[in-house]
Structure 1
Amino acid sequence: MAQDVEIAAMRRALELAARGPASRNPQVGAVILSADGRTLAEGWHRGAGTPHAEVDALSHLPEGGARGATAVVTLEPCNHTGRTGPCTEALIAAGVSRVVYALDDPGETEGGGARRLAAAGVDVEGGVCVDEARALLAPWIASRLRGRPHVTLKWAQSLDGRAAAADGTSQWITGPAARADVHRRRAEADAILVGTGTVLADDPALTARDGEALLPRQPVPVVIGTRPVPADAALRRHPHAPLILPTRDLASALDALLDRGLHRVFVEGGPGLQSALLRAGLADEVLAYIAPTLIGGPRLATADIGVDTITDQRRLAVSDVRRLGDDLLVVARLEPHAEGER
């Protein structure tokens, strides 16, 4: 059973992990503890091709400095050779006597690190702070398990479920605090996806901003649909060149994004695109920004999502509810949909 000092070190490792880029590779942090519980070194993974968290932490110690130590890692140490060598072998060579980790690696080639360490005589314990680690790595895990990007649907709605007034106007349903939260979350995504209908109707810039200033990290703007995107569209002035996918095949579009290393997709494409992704079982998370206002009329936040009878309803697991000014944000995870699961 993990000791208190190891649990505290795991929480520190999770803080370190969050410093790494959220993309194709998992965010991982590591802390090396001495036999008496002192922190000897810390490390985290800084992106593809850079040392993994365990190796980064070990690099801060002199030769032999980790002998008899405990390595606390947010993800099961990898057991394969990719751009870098296996972390299991680095830990064994360093003489680490115990490894505590949070989450099992779901990869077929990367997994198995715990077994390799145990076979080498290292004391291994997994599942420490597993819920916190899973929350951090949820998009990466979904991408690995489902073979497609993690897809987050975002919409703003009135209390009675409308995304726009009868004439189509929708700016602004929610207030400035909710809009600021949206921009922060855009900056955490690899790509922001809309349909051509949204481009033609709203001419969105698809940038992540703090007021009028661009945030340092910007998602790649992606447009899906068969209608042409105007040459003077605002998104063509985005810091990243827009990716235009002239198709209505959502699964192939997501495959194209995955091939480009875009693993976290933030969808702001209006009820048509959002509902199509829900209907196909290609969405993982919903962010519903709910304003205390009533609009009425026909323009609902979602359209047909394939629910013909109440027994077909799509149940979600609420992971967060928070107040943003006068508005409410509900964050919910979608369970795998048998028809759309890949």
Structure 2
Amino acid sequence: MKQTPFTTADLLGPTLPPAERELRLIAVMSLSGAAAVEGTSESLGNDIDAALLTTVRAWSDVVLVGAGTARAETYSGAKCSESERDKRVARGQAPVPPIAVLTKSFDFDPSSQLFTDTEVPPVFLAPQASLDDPDLASARQKLLDANAQLISTGDGSAHAIIDALHTHGFNRITCEGGPGLYGTLLGAGLGDVLHLTIDPLVHGNVETTLFSAGGNYKARLTLEDVHASDDSVMFCRYRRTDQ
């Protein structure tokens, strides 16, 4: 592949007006298809991949992530530069997008950096059954006391999750995984754009392949754009075409 200079704006690609709804998935995997190496994705990708993540977050109204990924990757809040904040406000967006975590148990430590290293309190998305469960009252209250927002996802289905975010004004949604959540969304026919970074690492003992969860589903994607960095990391942008 011929390598040409590119920016993270090139990788982000065309965007819809802020009032229009779009769901983007962003992921990194090894050449062996692994979503993680030794439990996390930290060793995958490069500085450009990290910059792309920041760029996609700056586009977003909300960053959606599964509970397991939030814990394994030791999530903190999203960060936006002053210039990005100004651009967001000019577009009618909040200065910084919140992290929205899917949970059924509310089992999160309010002293973790998800709460302490953030400018916007996290959002927790939970099925109504979990919000009504008296056995979880104490866990819920701990999150509320830490200024978290709790949002019902009804029956907890993929469509209910996205509908709940839309209802609360989050039109631009970025999903950062993990594999189970990617599969759940794609299997439900959701997801407009996939940003996929491929690290040129080949290895055995693949713990979890990136798109193996979510049941027996198929999703047809079209490659819109691809670039490669000098260290052979590939950056692909796909758009779903079977909706």
Amino acid at match of 1:321: V
TM-score relative to the length of structure 2: 0.70
| Alpha-carbon spacing, 1:175–1:214, altered in 2? closer, same or farther (3 Å) | farther
CA distance, structure 2, for counterparts of residue 139 and residue 274 of structure 1: 23
Counterpart mapping for 1:1-342 below 5 A: 135-137=14-16, 141=20, 143=21, 150-165=22-37, 167-208=38-79, 216=85, 217-228=95-106, 229-237=108-116, 238-247=118-127, 248-296=156-204, 297-307=206-216, 313-326=218-231, 327-337=233-243
Q: Give the distance between the partners of 1:190 and 1:139, measured in 2 at CA.
A: 9
Return the offset for 1:169.
Answer: 3.4
Alignment CA distance shift 1:273-1:189 (3 Å): same
CA contact under 8 A between 2:184 and 2:214: conserved in structure 1?
yes
Q: Which residue of 2 aligns with 1:112?
A: none
Distance in 1 (CA, whole Å) between partners of 2:220 and 2:181 is: 20
How many pairs does the alignment contain? 191
5+ residue gaps, structure 1, are 1-131, 144-149, 338-342
Partner amino acid for 2:192?
D
Cα deviation per residue 1:208-258 (whole Å; 9 max; x = unaligned)? Answer: 357xx9963422210112021221232223211211111233222212211
Match of 1:8 in 2: none
- Tell me how far 1:324 sits from its aligned partner: 3.7
CA offset at residue 277 of structure 1? 0.7
Decide whether aligned partners of structure 1 residues 209 and 324 sit closer, same or farther in structure 2, where only a CA change above 3 A counts: farther
- Structure 2 counterpart of 1:252, which letter? A
Supply the AA of the counterpart residue of 2:121: A
Deviation at 1:139, TM superposition (A): 7.4
Task: Mark the structure with the bigger radius of gyration.
Answer: 1
Structure with more contact order per residue of length (Cα contacts < 8 Å, sep ≥ 6): 2
**Deviations for 1:123-147, whole angstroms, at most 9, x for unmatched residues?**
xxxxxxxxx9xx4327755x2xxxx
Structure 2 residue identity aligned to 1:244: F
In 2, distance between residues paired with 1:176 and 1:285?
22
CA shift at 1:200, angstroms?
2.5
Q: Distance in 1 between matches of 2:19 and 2:167?
A: 15
- Relative distance call for 1:322 and 1:140 in structure 2 (3 A) is farther
1 CA distance for matches of 2:230 and 2:49?
Answer: 7
Change (3 A) 1:136 1:153: closer
- The equivalent of 1:24 in structure 2 is none
* C-alpha contact 1:318 1:333 (8 A) present in aligned 2: yes
Relative to structure 1, the CA distance from residue 159 to residue 209 in structure 2 (aligned partners, 3 Å threshold; closer, same or farther) is farther
Share of identical aligned residues, percent? 28
Q: Could you tell me the TM-score, scaled by structure 1's length?
A: 0.51
What displacement does 1:303 show? 1.6
**In structure 1, C-alpha distance between the alignment counterparts of 2:202 and 2:100, rounded to whole Å:** 32
Q: CA RMSD of the aligned region, Å?
A: 2.6
Q: 5+ unaligned residues in a row in structure 2: which ranges?
A: 1-12, 86-94, 128-155
